[in-house]
Amino acid sequence: MNVRISRSVGVVAVLYFTANFSAQTTKAKDTLAKENKIDEVVVIGYGTQKKSNVTGAIASIKASDIENIPSGKPEQVLQGRAAGVSVVTNSGQPGAAATVRVRGITSFGAGSNSPLWVVDGIVVDNIGWLNQSDIESIEVLKDGASSAIYGVSAAKGVILVTTKKGKKGKLTLSYNGFYGFSNASKKLDLLDATQYAKIINEGFVNDGGTPRFTNPESFGKGTDWQDAIFGTGEKSSHEVSITGGNEKSTYYTSFGYFDQSGIVLSDISYYKRINARFNSTHKVTDYLTLGQTFAYTHVKSQGVSANEEFGGPLASAVNLDPTTPVVVTDWSMVDPSGYTNPYIIRDPNGNPYGISRYVNQEMTNPQAFRHIQQGNYSWSDDFVGNVFAELKFLDHFTFKSSLNGKKSYWGSRSFTPKYYLSPNYNNTSFNSLNKVDENKFEWSMENTLTYQNKFGNHNINIMIGQGVYRYNIAGGASLTYSNLPIDNWQDASFNFNIPQDNITATGWDGIQTRKASYFGRIIYDYADKYLFTGTIRRDGSSKFATNQHWGTFPSMSLGWNVHKENFWPENKVINNLKLRGGYGVLGNDEMDNFRFASFMVSGSNYTNSGNNIIIGYAPSTLENPNLKWEQTSQLNIAADLKLFNNFTLTADWYKKKTTDILRQINIPGYVGVPNLPWSNVGDMQNSGLELELGYKKNWEDFGISVNGNFATIKNEVLRLEDDIKYFNLASFQTMGAVSRVAVGQPYGSFYGQTYSGVFQNQAQIDNYVNANGVKLLPDAKPGDFIWQDNNGDGKIDDEDKVNLGSSIPKYTFGLTVNLNYKNFDLMMFAQGQAGNKIFQGLRRLDMLDANYQTRVLDRWTGEGSTNDNPRVTRNDPNHNYSWMSNYYLQKGDYVRLKIVQLGYTIPQDVTKRFGMSKVRLYITGENLVTFTKYTGYDPEIAGRNNSEQDIIGVDRAYYPQARTFLIGANIQF
C-alpha cells in the first residue's frame, strides 16, 4: 500500500503517524529503487506539478489513503490526514458536516471560516454531496503562495477535489460496501431519583425553606432519561463503479447508496443519500480533447437538536428530573391533574407519557417529543457538472475552456399535530402542514492558455486565464395549510380543500452575485534545482462599490533542491533536501451584496393629526462607499528532507495576518437606521510551526511505513474598530456572554470571573474586605465561592472579569498505523487535541429543578468538606452558578482511537475461479475509546458556523459521536 506524505503544515497542530506492513515479493532495496523513479504529481489549481518541485504548502491525499475509511461525509476523511487542516465533527447526528479550518480562523465578520471547495474546477459550498469512493485525490492549498491563484476566495484556504476518471483497458466493475451498528460510547453521570430529591431538599433548606420531598428514598433509582433517548443506530453503504475505455475514449460511472440512523431516537435521526456520477474523456483528434463530469446526489434526512440547550431530546434527557416516569402506569407516582388535556401524547398501549411537574419550558419527555416529529424531513437534490474542451497547438501551447455549473434544489416537509407535552410546550389550537421548496443555480466559465517548454536545463510553464462567475441565482417558497381534517402525519396532504384563511404562502428571490477574474502563473525550474513560482490574480466583484470593485492578489515562492547540487555528497544520512519559502496576498468578500449602500426601506410608519397610519420610508443603514476587500497575507518557510533512505522530515513555519476585516459595526441608536453598517474594522494573526516525520521500508513479506506530524497554532486579535478593546461573542442562557473577541487574545476566548476557593465559615466572609474594611461579598454565606478582586479596586463586579482560556486548541495530533502481513491488513487511526478549554453548559440555569451531574455530590456541606464546589442553593445570592467563571470550564484535551480495521484479501488463485480479480473482507470499529478528563459527552465540539458565532468548544448538549462496528467488502471484477 502506498502512503502519501503531506508536504505542508497547517494552522492546527497534527501529529499523524502511518505504519504500513505489506506483503512484498521483491527485496527492500529493489522496491525503494522503483519508488524513487516515480514522480508524484499533485493538483495545484488550473494545472498539475511534480511534487518534488512544489514550492508552496500543499497537502495531497490520494484515493488509496481514504478508500477504506467508512465515513458518511467525505470532508471527515481529512481529519488527521492533512497537516495544517483542523477537522472537527459538528455532531454525531447522521449526515452532520464537519467544521474545517485551514491554518486557523481567518476572519470574524465576513461569513464562516470554511475553506473554498473546488471539485473538478467547480466552486461549491461543500462536498457533503460527494460519494467518497469517487474521489481520486484531495489537495489542500494552505499557504498564500499556492492559494493566490484563487484570489479573493482563497483567504480561508482552498481544497481541491479531483474525482476519478476512466482508464483505458477492459471494463472493470468494483463494489465497496459495509453494514454495521452504533451505540453511545458514553453516558453522563447524572443524579438518580433519590440523589436528586436529596439535593433539591438541601437547596430549599440552605435558603431557609423546608424540604420538598418527605421521603427521597422512596423514589429509588427513578428514570434514566438517557436510556430513554439512546438506542442502537445502523449504518450501511453500497457503492458500485464501472470504468474502462480505449485509446480514444474513457469513462467512469458510479452509483452509491448510504443509509445511517442515529443513536438518539433513531426514527427521527437519520440520513439517506443516493449518488450517481458519470465522467468521460474523448480524444477527438491528436490535438483536441473533449470531456465532461456530471454528478447527481439526493439526500433525505431528519435530525434532532445537535448542540442546543433550549429544548430537544438531548437537553431534555440531561435536565429532566428522574422522579418523572417515561410512561405513567402507576398513578400514585404522579399528579393526575396534569394529565387531563385531551391532546396529551400516549404510548401504543394508551398510557400517557410522563410530564414533569418541576422541569418545564422547552424540556419535554423525549419519547413524547419523538411522536410529534415523525414524518418530518429535509431533502436536497444537487446536480453538479462541467464540460470542457482542450486544444493543443504549436507543440507547446494548450488552450482549455470549461463551462461549470451547479443546480441545487432543497427544502423540507413537516406536519405539526395538536399535542400537549407540558404546560409550556403544547399546540392545542390547530394542526398544520408545511413545505419549503428552494433552489439555486450557479455557473462559471473559465478559459486558460498554457505554454510549456523545456530547453536545456530550463523548464518553464506559463499560464494565463480568465473567468466569469455567477452566484446565488436563487429563489424559494413556503406553503402552510392549517386546520386540516386529520390527526396524524400519514394522512397529511395539500390536496385537502380548506378555506383560504387557513393557507399561508411566502416567497423570496436571491440577489445575484457577479464576479470576473484575470489570472496568471509562471512556474520555472533550472535543472530541477532552482524553483520559482509566481502568480497574480485580479478579481472584480459586484459586492463592492464602483471604486472598490477590483482587487489584486499576488504571490511568489522559491525552492532549492540542495541535494541536486554537485557539491552535495552522496551519503546515507541526508538523501534529499529541499528548502522552500513563499509569500502571498489573498482576499475575502464573504458578505451579502450591496452592504456598502443604503436603501430606502418601508416600515417607518407614522400617524398624522387624524391618527391615520401613513406608510413611511427611511434609510436601511449608513452607506460606506469605501468598503473594500479583506486581505490576508501569509509567509511560509519550510524544509523537506529524506533521511537514511527511509525517513522523511518536513518542517513548515508560517505567519498569516488578516487586515481590514469586514464586519458590522455598532452605532448609537439615535442614528435611526434599522441595520448596522459594514466597515473594514479589524486585524488578526495566526502563526504556527508544523513538523512531519515519516519512515518507510519494505521486506520480502513485510512492509512498514510510519508517518507523523505535529503542529501548533497561535491566534491573536490585533485590532478592532475605533480602538475598542473587545466585543462579546457567544452567550449562554441568563449568564450572558461567555466568550469575546478581545485585542491581544485569541479569537473567541472565554471570559469571566475567577474564584479562589469556598468560604468555610462566617469569619472568612467577615475578613474578606477591601482597604476600607468593607466586605467584598456581603451576600455570601459559608459554602459560597470566594470571588477574586482581579483589578484590585476594592469591589467585585464586571471589571474583575479576565481571560479564562482559549477555545482554539494549541495542538492537534493524530496517529495512524497500517500493518499488512501477506493477505492480512490492520489499520488503526487515533487523533486528538490539547491546550484548549470547553465551556460545559449542560444544565439549564433558569430551571432551578433541573437535574445535576454527580459532581454536585462533592458540594460543600460543612467546614472542611471541599474547597472546589459550592453549596447547593436555589436563590444563589453570591452568583455561584449564575456568573460565568472558571467553574464552567474544563480542559478539552483528548486522544481518540478513531478507527481500527482488520482486513483479509482472498488469494487471487481462488477469486479468479469466480471471475473476480480482488475480494477483500474487513471488520471496522469506530470511536472505540476516548481518553479525556472532560465530563461531557464528547470533547470534540464544533461551532455553529455562522459568522460571529463561529466558536468551537461551547457544549450546550452536544450530540455525541457513536461507537460503531462494521463488516464490509471490497470486490473487483
What is the pTM (predicted TM-score) of this model?
Answer: 0.90
Q: What is the pLDDT of residue 729?
A: 85
Whether the pLDDT of residue 238 is over 90: the answer is: yes
Whether the pLDDT of residue 937 is over 90: the answer is: yes
Cα–Cα dist 85/106, whole Å:
13
Q: Which H or E run contains 423?
A: none
Please give the average per-residue pLDDT across 234-262, as a whole number: 95
Please give the average per-residue pLDDT across 680-701, as a whole number: 90
Please give the average per-residue pLDDT across 366-386, as a whole number: 95
Query: Going by DSSP bridges, is the β-strand pair 419-422/425-427 parallel, antiparallel, or unpaired?
Result: antiparallel
The residue type of 604 is S
| Across 107-116, 131-140, 443-452, 488-497, least confident range | 107-116
Q: What is the pLDDT of residue 802?
A: 95
Please give the average per-residue pLDDT across 455-469, as a whole number: 95
User: Where are the alpha helices (H) located in 505-662, listed in sequence order?
Assistant: none
Whether the pLDDT of residue 34 is over 80: the answer is: no
Whether the pLDDT of residue 224 is over 80: the answer is: yes
Whether the pLDDT of residue 338 is over 80: the answer is: yes
Please give the average per-residue pLDDT across 272-292, as a whole number: 96
Whether the pLDDT of residue 669 is over 80: the answer is: no
Q: What is the pLDDT of residue 288?
A: 96
Whether the pLDDT of residue 427 is over 50: the answer is: yes
Q: What is the pLDDT of residue 944?
A: 59
For the chain, report the end-to-end CA distance as a whole number of angstroms: 20
Whether the pLDDT of residue 4 is over 50: the answer is: no
Confidence of residue 12 (pLDDT cuts 50, 70, 90): very low
Whether the pLDDT of residue 552 is over 60: the answer is: yes
| Across 51-65, 265-279, 615-629, 653-667, least confident range | 615-629
Please give the average per-residue pLDDT across 13-19, as a whole number: 34
Cα–Cα dist 943/194, whole Å:
36
DSSP code of residue 76: G
Give percent of the chain above pLDDT 70.
Answer: 95
Whether the pLDDT of residue 438 is over 70: the answer is: yes
DSSP code of residue 500: G
Q: What is the pLDDT of residue 37?
A: 44
User: Where are the alpha helices (H) located in 768-863, listed in sequence order?
Assistant: none
Q: Which H or E run contains 230?
A: none
The residue type of 783 is G
Task: Provide CB contacts within 8 A for 266, sequence distance 6+.
Answer: 231, 232, 233, 234
Cα–Cα dist 413/401, whole Å:
41
Whether the pLDDT of residue 590 is over 90: the answer is: no
The residue type of 534 is G
Cα–Cα dist 141/909, whole Å:
43
Cα–Cα dist 44/58, whole Å:
8
Q: Which residues in 467-504 are b (16+ Cβ under 10 Å) and which e?
A: bebbbbbbebebebbbebeeeebeebeeeeeeeeeeee
Please give the average per-residue pLDDT across 443-471, as a whole number: 96
The residue type of 828 is M
Distances in Å between the alpha carbon of 460 and those of 41, 518, 895? 16, 20, 46
Report the largest interatomic distance among the alpha carbons of the chain, rounded to a whole angstrom: 100
Chain segment 292-323, per-residue pLDDT in tens? 999 999 999 999 987 888 888 999 999 999 99
Q: Which residues in 660-697 are b (16+ Cβ under 10 Å) and which e?
A: bbbbbbeeeeeeebeeebbbbbbbbbbbbebbbbbbbb
Confidence of residue 80 (pLDDT cuts 50, 70, 90): confident
Q: What is the pLDDT of residue 28?
A: 38
More confident residue, 730 or 119: 119
Cα–Cα dist 468/480, whole Å:
39
Q: What is the pLDDT of residue 232?
A: 96
Please give the average per-residue pLDDT across 952-962, as a whole number: 89
Give percent of the chain above pLDDT 90.
Answer: 70
Cα–Cα dist 886/871, whole Å:
17
Helix or strand or coil: residue 210? coil
Cα–Cα dist 188/185, whole Å:
10
Distances in Å between the alpha carbon of 719 and those of 90, 680, 694, 724, 808? 29, 11, 40, 8, 19
Q: What is the pLDDT of residue 949?
A: 55
Whether the pLDDT of residue 231 is over 70: the answer is: yes
Chain segment 515-532, per-residue pLDDT in tens? 999 999 999 999 999 999
Confidence of residue 593 (pLDDT cuts 50, 70, 90): confident
More confident residue, 804 or 952: 804
| Across 26-30, 34-38, 537-541, 884-888, least confident range | 26-30
Confidence of residue 513 (pLDDT cuts 50, 70, 90): very high
Q: What is the pLDDT of residue 436?
A: 97
- Of 330, 334, 329, the residue nearest 356 (C-alpha): 334
Report the DSSP beta bridge partners of residue 924: 901, 966
Q: Which residues in 958-969 are b (16+ Cβ under 10 Å) and which e?
A: bbbbbbbebebe
Instruction: Write down the mean pLDDT value for the chain.
Output: 89
